[in-house]
Structure 1
Amino acid sequence: MNELAMNESDTRDRVLKTMLSSQSALLAYAHSMLQDYSAAEDVVQNVFLIVARKYEDFEEGTSIVAWCRPMVRFEVLKYLRNSKREQTVEDRVLQNAMDAAFDEQQTDDLNFRMEYLRNCLAKLPSKRRELLRLRYQDQAGYLSIAEALGISLETVRKSLFRARHSLRNCVDLHIQREVSP
């Protein structure tokens, strides 16, 4: 297996593991709309299959729940349509209230993650910070970065991979410390 295929496989695995760790939040969201735990499990399972196909669309460092929630909502609506169950006004109001509550929670979670990310970014060596700045702030391509820094394309790829990996591990460590008693 070549390196690109391994990186794609690693990315897919990370996204799916992240979704699995957020499965209870997605189930709660689906259940709040369906009031049927079995149906909610079916919906979230369908979303899991969608995520397995569309994992490349997920932007690492963002909330998997926020990314999956519209998929869950769409699958709930599809489930309701297929089961010929009509949505009442109360159902729609409840769904909107649940959306607002999830948005608020996700905003809080994102604020904590951003603070952790800033702290972890400050700990990276300056060369890695520069690579990340060029790639994500300046939105430079790999080839442009290689030319600007006078390094090979492969060095850019590997260095960015290592920098993202370091940041992810650092942020995860902060989160684990917060969650652990």
Structure 2
Amino acid sequence: MSEGNKIHPFKIDLAAFTCLFRDHYPNLSAYACLFVDEEAAEDIVQEVFVYVWENKENISIHTSIKAYLFKATYTRCLNYINRQKMLSINHRHIENDLRAYQLSFFDPDKNETIRKLYMDDLRNEIDRAIESLPQKCREVFTLSYIKDMPNKEISQLLEISESTVEKHINHALKVLRQLLHAKLTLFFLAFLI
């Protein structure tokens, strides 16, 4: 067995450990800062030294103590980074779940107050759109769609031809469709899908 592959049992007393800590802590902390922030680097290096002290009777070193400490620091830095990634992913999942849960309170299918507000708002938009129609057109549309009268009765009541009734209805529908397009799209998406 060559000298490089030889296993060296690690036996150390408190004085020797204190010297080891004092000699290597600054370099190990600087090395760990290549991977993580300064606070995490200090914690990681301290954990390495605590592990070494607590397991001094069971540690076998295949290289130098310096190489062992750098490798232990490197491994702990990678573990820390992986833990942080997992925490970040879990945190994002929790945030997304919480956001979805909060948004569910505003779902008109699940919240009668929101549905009523939306319906009242939509009703007001429809009323304003109808009010914006020319008088005769508005009158014909109201009789046809609100009062559900057939075109023939509207024609007789208003003393206009049925073709004029149809023209007023078509014009009213075109204008309302343009004015309410965005609102109706949202309405149908919210309630009909």
Shorter-chain TM-score bucket reads 0.3 to 0.5
Q: TM-score of the superposition, structure 2-length normalised? A: 0.34
Pick the structure with greater CA Rg.
2
Higher helix fraction (1 or 2): 1
